[in-house]
């Protein structure tokens, strides 16, 4: 697979009130198969998206 980062759309940050492209700010292993990835606003650092990703 490519660089490993999914194509992220811009979202409007509830804090900055501006469209931003979330950047990955933390990655936590939940189990051998799943990781929890958190994307934050690059401007203010607030958490925007959290997703479970299956490790293949």
Which pLDDT score, from 0 to 100, does residue 3 have? 53
Domain range holding 49? Answer: 11-54
| C-alpha to C-alpha distance for 50 and 38, rounded to whole angstroms | 4
Strands of the 47-54 sheet, one edge to the other: 23-29, 34-40, 47-54
The reply to whether 26 falls in a domain is yes
Is 3 domain-assigned? Answer: no
Q: Write the DSSP assignment of 4-55 as a string of letters.
A: S---PPPEE-TTT-SEE--EEEEEEE-SSSEEEEEEE-TTT--EEEEEEEE-
pLDDT of residue 7: 62
Residue 2 forms part of a structural domain: no
User: How do residues 9-56 score in pLDDT, each as one tens digit?
Assistant: 899 999 999 999 999 999 999 999 999 999 999 999 999 999 999 988
State how many domains the chain has. 1
**What is the pLDDT, as a whole number, of residue 56?**
83
pLDDT for position 9: 84
**Whether the predicted pLDDT of 1 surpasses 50:** no
State how far the Cα of 2 lies from the Cα of 16, in Å rounded to an integer.
31
């Amino acid at each position: 697979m490519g660089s490993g980062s999914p194509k992220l759309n811009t979202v409007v940050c509830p804090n900055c009130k501006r469209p931003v492209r979330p950047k990955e700010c933390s990655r936590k292993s939940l189990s051998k198969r799943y990781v929890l990835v958190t994307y934050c606003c690059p401007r203010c650092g607030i958490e925007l998206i959290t997703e479970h990703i299956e490790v293949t």
